């Protein structure tokens, strides 16, 4: 059983200001001395980076598609250990989720298309929801909008709203009066402001790792904005009204269990790429690698000319290598070392591009016999993929639930059997020492991946 004060920040639709409010609330509460545990619904990597800046703790994802319903409460409890309050930012609109359930996720709490939605996660966590509503262009109609969201699924407890992009004191008064007539609590009214604006590009917000001091300033601005315009005490009271959560707390050691086999220790160095070009990763991956007997060594392919000393396995996560293709290509000593590396390599999306022979015409590592290039088409969505061959991570016939998110295309130089197939698609390159694909996986949902990687590196 876990006593976790918790709050979900949701919205009627994307673009309503969830990230600004959630990040600002984390920063404002942290400034007041609260220990805040930051979480994000869905597979998003970028928002958790801002959450981490705001709270000083790792941003963590809660996604029933990637890990299954049964792990959502344990993962929240894991992330929130030692925290005073958990703030969970939603994804898209409150009820927007995957198109249809997949049978192995235990998705009985979802209602058709809202699998992996904010509402789905809020129900699993029995957490109160605060709806961030963009009121630009409306007045009293906001009450009808919120009433609709509150009545659509009564299993989701909408505790009140925060009005965003309020045009004037009169505009705020009109909205508040209409909501008050409906008995709907208003926890804040945020005026139209560019104080906390976060710049975007082809895949959304620019990750905080790429903005350094500007990201810190933006998060500070969000915190000051929320502190000045929202009722923090009432929001904390709402979070504390959440029920006691049943069940266990997730731990990497328990998840890996006996999968590591004999000879487990911490002697296997697993190099994990980071820096500005490789910013997409889930915090639990490193924890699982270490629980399986590895020692995680971070390195930056943009600036470091060699792999960490003693590297026995290499993990290349997602990110934006296309933005830094020239710099990655210019680091020829590291590219040559990766090309000659004999240990296991795991690469997701950005990592796959880095392993190709070239990216946008610039030489890369050449581990994968393919070329990569930017395109104008966004490829986005959940995938229920089946491994069609063995690899360092997978065994033929195993099913994995992942996520694809990119604007690039990889073209193999010849015929190659893919690593994964799913309805309408196929992808990836695999072998005894390689698993490279566009597919992003959350290893908490498949902890044997960490055990297999470390075991292969050791033996």
The catalytic residues are: 349
DSSP 197: -
- Please calculate the CA angle 425-429-430 and round it to the nearest 5 degrees: 125
How many other β-carbons are positioned within 10 Å of the β-carbon of residue 420? Answer: 26
Pick from 100, 103, 124: nearest CA to 111: 100
* Strand arrangement, sheet containing 311-316: 294-299, 268-273, 311-316, 345-348, 434-437, 429-431
Q: What is the Cα gyration radius of the chain?
A: 22
Q: How far is CA 56 from the centre of its chain?
A: 17
Rounded CA gap, 391 and 435, in Å? Answer: 6
Rounded CA gap, 25 and 5, in Å? Answer: 14
Burial readout 153-165 (b: 16 or more C-beta within 10 A, e: otherwise)? beebbbbbbbbbb
Decide if 223 contacts 27 (C-beta within 8 A): yes
Helix (H) or strand (E) holding 23: helix 18-31
Look at residue 287 and give its three-state secondary structure.
helix
Rounded CA gap, 11 and 17, in Å? Answer: 8
Retrieve residue 311's tokens. 């590297």
User: Tokens 């876990």, residue?
Assistant: 2
Q: What DSSP string runs through 33-49? A: T--EEEEEESS-SHHHH
Rounded CA gap, 162 and 183, in Å? Answer: 14
Rounded CA gap, 164 and 155, in Å? Answer: 25
How many other β-carbons are positioned within 10 Å of the β-carbon of residue 341? Answer: 18
Decide if 368 contacts 429 (C-beta within 8 A): yes
Alpha helices in 321-410 (DSSP H): 325-330, 332-340, 350-355
Retrieve residue 201's tokens. 């590009």
């Amino acid at each position: 059983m876990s006593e976790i004060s918790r709050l979900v920040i949701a919205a009627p639709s994307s673009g309503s200001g969830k990230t600004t409010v959630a990040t600002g609330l984390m920063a404002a509460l942290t400034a007041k001395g609260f220990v805040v545990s930051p979480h994000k619904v869905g597979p998003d990597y970028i928002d958790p980076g801002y959450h981490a800046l705001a709270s000083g703790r790792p941003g963590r994802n809660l996604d029933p598609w990637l890990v299954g319903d049964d792990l959502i409460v344990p993962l929240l409890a894991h992330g929130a250990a030692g925290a005073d309050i958990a703030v969970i930012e939603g994804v898209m609109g409150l009820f927007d989720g995957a198109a249809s359930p997949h049978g192995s996720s235990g998705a009985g709490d979802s209602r058709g298309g809202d699998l992996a939605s904010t509402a789905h996660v809020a129900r699993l966590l029995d957490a109160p929801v605060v709806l961030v509503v963009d009121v630009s262009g409306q007045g009293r109609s906001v009450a009808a909008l919120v009433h609709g969201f509150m009545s659509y699924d009564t299993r989701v407890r909408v505790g009140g709203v925060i009005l965003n992009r309020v045009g004037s004191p009169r505009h705020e008064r009109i909205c508040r009066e209409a909501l008050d007539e409906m008995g709907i609590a208003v926890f804040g009214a945020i005026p139209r402001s560019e104080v906390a604006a976060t710049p975007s590009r082809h895949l959304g917000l620019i990750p905080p790792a790429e903005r350094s001091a500007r990201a810190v300033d933006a998060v500070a601005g969000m915190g000051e904005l929320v502190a000045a315009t929202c009722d923090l005490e009432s929001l904390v009271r709402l979070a504390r009204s959440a029920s006691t959560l049943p069940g266990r707390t997730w731990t990497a050691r328990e998840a890996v269990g006996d999968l590591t086999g004999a000879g487990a220790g911490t002697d296997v160095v697993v190099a994990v790429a980071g820096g500005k070009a490789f910013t997409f990763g889930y915090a639990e991956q490193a924890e699982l690698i270490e629980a399986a007997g590895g020692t995680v060594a971070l390195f930056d392919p943009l600036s470091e000319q060699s792999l960490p000393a003693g590297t026995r396995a290499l993990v290349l996560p997602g990110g934006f290598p296309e933005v830094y293709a020239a710099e990655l290509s210019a680091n020829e000593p590291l590219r040559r070392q990766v090309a000659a590396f004999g240990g296991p390599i795991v690469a997701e999306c950005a990592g796959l591009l880095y392993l190709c022979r070239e990216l946008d015409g610039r030489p890369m590592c050449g581990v994968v016999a393919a070329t990569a290039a930017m395109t104008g088409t966004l490829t986005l969505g959940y995938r229920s993929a089946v491994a069609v061959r063995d690899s360092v991570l997978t065994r033929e016939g195993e099913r994995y639930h992942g996520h694809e998110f990119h604007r690039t295309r990889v073209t193999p130089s010849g015929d190659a059997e893919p690593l994964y197939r799913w309805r309408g698609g196929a992808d990836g390159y695999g072998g005894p020492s390689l698993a490279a694909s566009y597919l992003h996986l959350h290893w908490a949902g498949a902890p044997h991946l960490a055990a297999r990687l470390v075991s292969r590196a050791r033996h």
